Amino acid sequence: MADDMAFDSDENTAGRRGLAGALFLHKVCGAMAEQGKSLDDIHATAKQILSTTATIGISLSPCCLPGRGPSFELPEGVMELGLGIHGEAGLHRTRVASADDTVKLMADRLFTQNMFSAGDRVALIVNNLGGLSNLELGVVINSAIRHLETNRKLCVERVASGALMTSINMAGVSLSLLRLDDALAAGLGFEVQVSGWPGTAFQKRVSMQPITVNIAHSTSDAAKTEENTISEELGQCFEKCLRAMCEKLLAAEEELNALDRSAGDGDCGSTFKLGAAAVVQMLDSKSLPVRSPHRALVMIASKMEEVMGGTSGALYTLMLVRIAHIMKQAQGGGIAGFIPTVRDCVSGAIDVISSYGGAKRSDRTMLDALYGTHDALLALGDGNDFTADQVKAALPKIVEACHDAAQSTKSMSARAGRASYVSADHWTEPDAGAVAVAIWMRALQAPLSAATALL
């Protein structure tokens, strides 16, 4: 076997290495032997496979032989391209990149010998070199299929994946391609009972074609005017509020992740980054009706449900829908009704999160930051005659109360959320979800202060 595409030519005296592409040969020729084909036919098919198979490997780490150290040294943030399966280093090093960029880099090597052309039917092996998780391998599989079909215009008919030809615990992956015809496809699909093979046969892919659904929307100026509930200037302020919140959450990704790692799964900041980035994209594309805040919040809630995932995504979705309903009922209250409306929105958020999330005050969750905010709002009184100056003076107090409440979770016992499942020894930092609330609450202070003159 000589499927290694790490070399630019066949001039290396030792020749190309045999890598995971050998599995194509083993599977097809084994199927032919099982069916009683002649040795000449099997030999001819083996030669065909040899001439139409290509493999390239990449890794984020060396492997470690039992009782020994790493097989080679690889600096942090660097990945090794063109390595074999015996623990040896590769031929080229590059900075760690995204799955899509890494797959493109690997595909560029697979196509150096012009074995494949647009329209070719191919089989793909995505081989775990030993140390990748199933989740990581799945990301590579998805990226590889998408790149080969979209960018290289190949027809990926069959896919196998798993730890099929490993290098101990190397955190890497190899991609192998075989140009198919009907006979080779039949050989790959021949059922076999082997414990290390992915399933009983090479899986035939079902092409997933996107479905476009056209939903009618009224785009007339009259319809848009009827949907608007605030002035253009206030709409701009509302957009500034959304952008400010998103910018602060995007900047706080690592801070929130670090807090979450102390007593959770370490992805709080990444989760909020997904949501914030999605809102920014909606704003940039002008798809949010910023002059109709309640409609905009419902649309954002739908997007949060789609992109954020986890408990945070579900709770923020429910919270935004409740706030949208409250804002719709309170529209037109002006500056006098601003504080009562905000108080109702925070109260509604607390209610919906308590109802669906099961947490209570002092359970060391995001609720504690909201309760601190609500307390500050109640302290302002329950009247409906606030002036612009009173609102501007109140905003810093509300923000600080939220911040202090979030920080106070550091000394609380976790009775809800992921932190409640770990030892109290890990409760050394404030709750990440509560800090996230304090971050976006503080981001609102400046644009809301500016808006008071317009209400």
What residues act catalytically? 86
Q: State the helix-helix crossing angle for 268-284 and 253-263, rounded to 10 degrees.
A: 150
**How many other C-beta atoms are found inside a 10 Å radius of the C-beta of residue 436?**
26
Place of tokens 């790493």: 70
100's tokens: 């899509």
Q: For residue 314, which amino acid is it?
A: A
Separation between Cα atoms, residue 444 and residue 282, nearest integer Å: 19
Report yes or no: 260 and 447 within 8 Å, Cβ to Cβ: no
Bridge partner list, 92: 81
- DSSP H or E segment with residue 59: strand 53-59
DSSP string, 318-369: HHHHHHHHHHHHHTT-TGGGHHHHHHHHHHHHHHHHHHHH---TTSSSHHHH
Find residue 176's DSSP bridge partners.
Answer: 55, 125
Sign of CA dihedral 419, 420, 422, 425: positive
Residue carrying structure tokens 């896919």: 159
Phi, psi of 111 (to 5 degrees): -100, 10
Q: Are 23 and 125 in contact (CB under 8 A)?
A: yes
Cα 342 from Cα 378, distance rounded (Å): 11
Q: What is the 3-state secondary structure (H, E, C) of 129-170?
A: CECCCHHHHHHHHHHHHHHHHHCCCCEEEEEEEECCCCCCCE
